[in-house]
Chain A
Amino acid sequence: MEDFDKLYEEDTFKEVMGMSKEQYKKKVEEMLAKSEGDKGIGHGKSYWKDVQTFLLFADARFRRNKGSTYKKAFLEKAKFIAYVDFRMSDFANYADILLPAKSHYEVWDLRTNPGYHRFANLAHPPTNLKPVGEAKSEWEICTMIVEKIQEIAMKKYKETGDKKYIKIPDPELSKTGYRDLDTLVDEYTINGQLRDDRDAVEIALENTDQFKPNTIESMFKRGGYLTLNEKAGKSSPLYPDKPYNAFENNLFLYERFETLSGRITYYVDDDLWIQEGANVPTAKEPIRPRKFPFVLMTPHARWSIHSTYKTSTLLLRLQRGKPYVMINPEIAKKKGIKDGDEIRVYNTLGEFYAMAKIYPSCPKDAILLEHGWEPFFYKGRKGHNEVVASPLNLLELSDGWGHLKFGGNWDGNQHAYETSVDIEKV
């Protein structure tokens, strides 16, 4: 909210959102209070309210959740951070303990996406692969952590005889209301069957109906993949001789879509959405401040998958080797910026430095910066998130956190083209 206040202009915001910044903030607080805990109107929860210890897997947190104020707040709250990754992300520097993981191609894994096709691929470590340092698969890391927890708990229990060390109350997530630490390892590993990545693949193949009948050996024989059987098609039947077509069930076989109406829904019948004029898909002017002339556009990076592989020397040599900002030639000329110059990108929130690339396909009212650069690529460790405030889109709060609870993976949407900046030659 601090960042929000600093960045946005009252009149622009009011014009676009139809409410003052004060009203917006009040609304957010109201909605959050409503959805508090399980008693709320939705079943949302305030985000990690009481959590102070973090075990995070491959989550470059400050790159995803933007703004330096968020970073400060997180670090103040976090008492202890253990971080697991196969690469040195920027976030790894803030961890108390860093656990090196094996990368995608060093572990056993099944890759599948039944939404797009009907195959599952087997990832497996190459023959004679030498382990890199102490890296372990995530499965092994978790098993080891679980073993240690049980060991410590049992030791305390034996010393004191106090059951509180092995029976930890967990009313929300455990069926029994307790976590039993004396049997934790057995429970976690299914009595020793599931200790590492290879076990996980074997168990998945044995127990997942859609994978049957398959084993690691049968997948190997076919060159490392399996064909999902007829039980796998979620939105289309799986034919032996036809490719997968999503939504055949709904569009041709007349099954209901998983929406309230059973059809593809463009109308959202919700007070907040109606109030915001968004009950049907509606384009709105962006809320970014008008006093800075350029929209900051951050398209998907070409030479990385978000920030993964961003530090690859091989791929960095196929670009400019460090963060670069694409600028319209006419704008560059006006600003006295030449290709390859270092420029400062700034607004009221902050600034960052990058190389200028003169780019005819860039509009005159925007600058382009591929996303995924970690803060450690930038001068002073000030990444491009320094100039964004990322307020949550109010619509995401309707009916409590979780956007009307339409299924699976809710993710807090923000505003498109939310920030604007100015540039100057350094």
Chain B
Amino acid sequence: MSKRQLAMVMDLNKCIGCQTCTVACKTQWTNRNGREYMYWNNVETHPGAGYPRNWMEAGGGFDQDGNLKDGIIPDMVLDYGVPWDYNHDELFNGSLLQTKSDLEWGPNWDEDVGGGEYPNSYFFYIPRICNHCSNPGCLAACPREAIFKREQDGIVLVDLERCQGYRYCIAGCPYKKIYFNPKISKSEKCIFCFPRVEKGLPPACAHQCVGRIRWVGFLDDEEGQVYKLVHKYKVALPLRPDFGTQPNVYYVPPLFDPPKFDDNMAPIENSRRIPMEYLELLFGKEVHQALETLRKEMEKRARGEESELMDILIAYSHRDMFRLDNNYYQQEAAKKGLKGSEFFKIIDQRYLQGANTQRVEIKDYTFHEKVLPLPQKEKHGGH
């Protein structure tokens, strides 16, 4: 366990699936150097296969006794989807715009599909980043001890110097949120935008969110909204807690979905389209209580009474939503007598050192044709 833990809360009732977070993350971190296929942040439609395809069935995590479970490495073509490129240059000569590779799967392939039958179909969005778990499956799976959890804030990072690209971490992570970079033959993952966080800025995905659905803060900061949502009101729940990794990204489950229609297209009162079983699968039994609390607090507010919870969820101010605890990092740095940008030095040096491993010059972006061959899916039964 780390000394402190940074956490994120996402309110699924407010996510409109606009993928601004995805694009913010992609353009900041993963549009180059062998990361093109990775989506450290993705938004997927539920119920659905998600990204990588069927990640919930791909194993990893821990069983009830705390033993690491077998997992598989998703297939580059069928599960992640090869990031396709286009012949833009040829358009000028009257050519059609076409992809240079086949279209098999992608990060948003089953967008808005969901479940049910017209007119009672339903779906909702789940944005996913690395959960920066308190008991990370990736860390437990790594035979090189190349994955570490920072003391200062619990951010889970890969020591790129130590990583040898064995990919056990991918099988071990039940969320499939750690990726293999075929260009440098190492694993890479969401870094919770730690260079931003250390300067007091929230991660790019949270900062850019147009729906203001994300809160960022330390879990032990009792004045913080993250603490209040997670611990005080208990309306923010981890995704698939049964995976046993103790995730630190929490979700306010979807309370709203339209009522079902009967045969005469009249709405059926008090009906829900999203099956509670599905929400239970995602968020555990606690989802009932969380939804109940949300409902009660909403009613309270509707009666004109005060509700701290509703005020938090309305998300009035970024300053309150992103509480990186009053320059916590800078204070830590000051204690050690570091000034200015030197405060970087208090943070684990391991990732930064890794960042200096030999850089890859990318000349063309059809990298997937030249990647190190990934093992066949069926041959991967864990370790």
Q: State the A residues within 8 Å of B (CB).
A: 88, 92-93, 311, 313-322, 328-330, 340, 355, 357-364, 374, 376-379, 381
Contact = CB atoms under 8 A, between A and B. Distances in A.
Given A88-B88, A88-B91, A360-B116, A314 B27 contact: yes
A381 B31 contact: no
B97 A374 contact: yes
Interface string B300-336: 0000000000000000000000000000000000000
A376 B116 CA distance: 35
A59 B117 CA distance: 40
A309 B113 CA distance: 24
B94 A93 contact: yes
A381 B114 CA distance: 32
Interface string B68-101: 0000000000000001111010011011111100
Interface string B103-126: 100111101111111110101000
Interface string B8-49: 000000000001001100110001000000000000000000
B44 to A, nearest CB: 11
Contacts of B96: 376-379, 381
A364 B353 CA distance: 58
Contacts, number: 81
Interface residues of B, number: 35
A88 B92 contact: yes
A318 B106 CA distance: 7
Contacts of A322: 98-99, 103
Nearest to A310: B97
Q: Which of B26, B91, B98 has the most CB of A within 10 A?
A: B91
Contacts of A315: 23
Nearest to B102: A321
Contacts of B119: 363
Q: Is the interface of B mostly helix, strand, loop or mixed?
A: loop
A358 B113 CA distance: 7
B113 A320 contact: no
6 nearest CB pairs, A to B: A360-B121, A361-B121, A318-B108, A88-B91, A321-B103, A376-B97
Contacts of B23: 314-315, 318
Given A317-B107, A318-B106, A362 B85 contact: no
A339 to B, nearest CB: 8
Nearest to A324: B103
B86 A320 contact: no
Nearest to B85: A313
Contact of A359 (B26, B106, B108, B112): B112
B118 A318 contact: no
A314 B91 contact: no
A322 B109 CA distance: 12
B111 A319 contact: yes
Contact of A321 (B88, B95, B106, B111): B106
Interface in B112-159: 112-119, 121, 123
B118 A317 contact: no
A364 B111 CA distance: 19
A197 B83 CA distance: 37
A311 B108 contact: no
A362 B99 contact: no
29 contacts: A93-B91, A93-B94, A311-B88, A311-B91, A313-B84, A313-B88, A314-B23, A315-B23, A316-B84, A317-B83, A317-B107, A318-B108, A319-B108, A321-B103, A321-B106, A322-B98, A340-B103, A357-B113, A360-B114, A360-B116, A361-B112, A361-B114, A361-B121, A363-B119, A376-B96, A376-B97, A377-B96, A378-B96, A381-B96
Interface string B255-287: 000000000000000000000000000000000
Contacts of B88: 88, 311, 313
Contact of B115 (A92, A316, A360, A363): A360
B118 A320 contact: no
Contacts of B118: 328, 360-364
B111 A360 contact: no
